[in-house]
Amino acid sequence: MAKSAPDSPAPISHAGRVSIVASRYNSEYTDALVSSASETIAQLAPDLEVDVTRVPGAFEIPVVVEAVACDEEQPLAIIALGVIIRGSTAHADLIAQSITKTLQETSVSHLIPVIHEVLLVDTAEQAQARALGDELNRGREAAEAAIAMIEVMGKFAG
């Protein structure tokens, strides 16, 4: 897996909304992801409104992402944030596979970028590096991907 993200997108002046759907589980990490994503959006797209919906755990993220995508006032992008720390069973892998498949289906069927940063990690140290660190901060990267995709999808708006 790559250890560096693409260059940060240029700031944009789109008006609209970005929705963040984040798990409350592993809150030390998910709170940091939400904060990083929100701060990055504020820097790169100050005209965008950000709304945050918290759900109990990672498994609950896809149903809320689907509800947001079906909202009458669709957001320009949806960011899914969560942290799953693998245990000694296959449960975490099954949850992660289900989330990935469902988020992709929602994105494609509604033509809304759904940025998937529901992290599946082996250890708390890996979660810390990706949520609390500067080098691999997945909250920041999710926001940057959302901004880049808003620009890309804007080319197809009728």
Q: How confident is the model at residue 60 (pLDDT cuts 50, 70, 90)?
A: very high
Average pLDDT, the chain: 90
The least confident of 4-8, 49-53, 54-58, 102-106 is 4-8
pLDDT of residue 144: 95
pLDDT of residue 15: 77
What six digits make up the tokens of 15? 């008006």
Q: Which CATH class is domain 18-154?
A: alpha beta
Distance, in Å, from the CA atom of 118 to the CA atom of 20, rounded to the nearest integer, reads 12
pTM: 0.91
Domain residue spans of the chain? 18-154
Q: How buried is 153 (Cβ within 10 angstroms: 0-12 exposed, 13-18 middle, 19+ buried)?
A: middle
Query: Is a pLDDT exceeding 90 seen at residue 27?
Result: yes
Query: Is a pLDDT exceeding 90 seen at residue 33?
Result: yes
Radius of gyration of the chain (CA): 15
| Separation in Å, CA 125 to CA 18, 83, 138 | 29, 12, 14
pLDDT of residue 155: 87
pLDDT of residue 9: 66
Residues whose CB is less than 8 angstroms from the CB of residue 65 and which lie 6 or more positions away in sequence, other chains included: 21, 78, 80, 102, 103, 106, 114
Query: Is a pLDDT exceeding 80 seen at residue 88?
Result: no
pLDDT of residue 154: 86
Query: Is a pLDDT exceeding 80 seen at residue 4?
Result: no
DSSP assigned state of 36: H
Indicate which residues carry an active-site annotation: 91
Query: Is a pLDDT exceeding 70 seen at residue 10?
Result: no
Strongest mean pLDDT among 13-22, 88-97, 125-134, 143-152: 143-152
